Amino acid sequence: MIKKVKDKKNEDIEIATYNALPAEAKYFIVRYNVNLNKINKKGLLKVIAFILGLNIAIVTLIVALLIENNLLQMLVGSIILIPLFLFSMKLLAKQFKKKGLINNEKHKSKRNRK
């Protein structure tokens, strides 16, 4: 998605907004069909960064308190972090759906389309 904006001299500048997003944001936008016209992109990035930071802090705390071996800590932490990330993104998508920021068109089954 390329967005054209005008600078102070009224010259068109192309900004590749989608390509500049981190992988987590791209995953969330594509997976849950987020409407980019209704959402503040900086706000979305802040929310995703907060969720990722919280997930990492929770996993680090749990793994550091329960496991003594460093190699095992990294292995278990990686295994726990990925499903926790996916679960967190699903909760965020439910919240966005309540606010009307997610398009429902992509989630319709093929049988209902004519």
- Residue 4's pLDDT is 54
| pLDDT tens-digit readout, 18-61 | 677 889 998 998 899 888 888 888 899 999 999 999 999 999 99
In a domain, 71, yes or no: yes
In a domain, 5, yes or no: no
Question: Quick one: tokens of 14?
Answer: 């192309």
Per-residue DSSP letter, 101: -
In a domain, 80, yes or no: yes
Q: How far apart are CA 39 and CA 35, in angstroms?
A: 7
- How many other C-beta atoms are found inside a 10 Å radius of the C-beta of residue 22? 12
16, 4 contact by CB (below 8 A): no
| Residue 84 CA: distances (Å) to CA of 36, 41, 76, 78, 111 | 25, 23, 12, 10, 32
Whether 113 shows a pLDDT value over 60: the answer reads no
Number of domains into which the chain is organized: 1
* Mean pLDDT (the chain, rounded): 82
In a domain, 13, yes or no: no
In a domain, 38, yes or no: yes
pLDDT band at residue 17, thresholds of 50, 70 and 90? low
In a domain, 6, yes or no: no
pLDDT band at residue 104, thresholds of 50, 70 and 90? confident
In a domain, 94, yes or no: yes
**Full residue range of the structural domain in which residue 89 is found:** 21-100
In a domain, 64, yes or no: yes
Q: How far apart are CA 21 and CA 72, in angstroms?
A: 32
Question: Of 3 and 49, which is predicted with more confidence?
Answer: 49
